[in-house]
Amino acid sequence: MVPKTDCDPRGCSAGSGLEREDLPRFGGLDGPVRAGSIADLGRRIAKVADALLGSLPQVLQSAAGSSTRPSRLVRELSLDKSLASRLVRSLRAESPLQLAHLAPSPIGLRIVLDAAESRGVDATLITRARGAVSEFENLLEDMPGGRSSLDALLSTAVPEVKERTELSAKQTVYRAMKQLLGLHCETNTTALILQPSDSDPRFADAIDLQQRLGICHLRPHTPVALHSATYGTEGGGEGPRMETIQGAVPQRGVETFLLPEFCTQPLPAMCMYHEGPHTILALDERKVRLHSPITITTGFIVRNGFLRHAQPDVWEEWRCYLLAYPSRMMVRDLYIRDDLYVGSMPEVRLEFPLPPGAKRIHSKDLPTRLTQLDLSAPVQQLGRGLFQAAIAGVPRHARILAYAFEQAGWDPARFRGYRCRIPYPVPMISTGWWIPLPQEPRRSTRAGP
Residue 189 lies in a domain: yes
**Angle formed at CA 298 by CA 295 and CA 302, multiple of 5 degrees:** 165
| Rounded Cα–Cα distance for residues 132 and 39 (Å) | 22
Q: What is the pLDDT of residue 22?
A: 42
Low pLDDT (below 50) residues in the chain: 1, 7-36, 233-237
| Rounded Cα–Cα distance for residues 327 and 175 (Å) | 10
**Same domain? 374 vs 427:** yes
Q: What is the pLDDT of residue 3?
A: 52
CATH of the domain at 346: 2.60.40
**Same domain? 269 vs 198:** yes
Beta pairing partners, 300:
208, 244
By residue count, the chain amounts to 449
Q: What is the pLDDT of residue 424?
A: 96
**Same domain? 65 vs 122:** yes
In a 13 Å sphere around the CA of 93, the CA atoms on its Cβ side amount to 26
Q: What is the pLDDT of residue 272?
A: 85
**Same domain? 227 vs 343:** yes
Residue 364 lies in a domain: yes
**Same domain? 333 vs 235:** yes
Q: What is the pLDDT of residue 26?
A: 41
Q: What is the pLDDT of residue 367?
A: 54
Residue 120 lies in a domain: yes
Q: What is the pLDDT of residue 112?
A: 93
**Same domain? 122 vs 188:** no
Asked if residues 165 and 155 have their Cβ atoms less than 8 Å apart, the reply is yes
Q: Which residues of 14-36 are buried (b: 16+ CB within 10 A; e: fewer)?
A: beeebeeebbeebeebeeebeee
Smallest Cα–Cα separation from 11: which of 306, 319, 405, 282?
A: 282
Contacts of 95 (CB under 8 A, 6+ apart): 17, 18, 19, 22, 23, 158
Last residue of a domain, one of 122, 157, 192: 157
Asked if residues 5 and 354 have their Cβ atoms less than 8 Å apart, the reply is yes
Last residue of a domain, one of 110, 141, 157: 157
CB-count burial class (<10 Å; 0-12, 13-18, 19+) for 355: exposed
**Same domain? 226 vs 300:** yes
Smallest Cα–Cα separation from 253: which of 227, 235, 286, 233?
A: 227
**Same domain? 149 vs 298:** no
Asked if residues 60 and 116 have their Cβ atoms less than 8 Å apart, the reply is yes
Smallest Cα–Cα separation from 317: which of 346, 343, 342?
A: 346
Q: Please give the backbone phi and psi of residue 180, each rounded to the nearest 5 degrees, phi first.
A: -70, -40
Residue 294 lies in a domain: yes
Domain that holds residue 365: 183-436
Last residue of a domain, one of 142, 157, 172: 157
Residue 164 lies in a domain: no
Domain count, the chain: 2
**Same domain? 120 vs 259:** no
What DSSP letter does each residue of 163-209 carry, written as one string?
Answer: HHHHHHHHHHHHHHHHHHHTEEEEEEEEEEEEEE-SS-TTEEEEEEE
**Same domain? 192 vs 280:** yes
Residue 396 lies in a domain: yes
Asked if residues 159 and 135 have their Cβ atoms less than 8 Å apart, the reply is no
**Same domain? 107 vs 201:** no
Q: What is the pLDDT of residue 339?
A: 96
3-class SS of residue 273 = strand
Q: What is the pLDDT of residue 87?
A: 92
Residue 12 lies in a domain: no
Residue 5 lies in a domain: no
Q: Taking the complete model, does pTM exceed 0.85, yes or no?
A: no
End-to-end CA distance of the chain: 46
**Same domain? 196 vs 277:** yes
Q: What is the pLDDT of residue 252?
A: 72
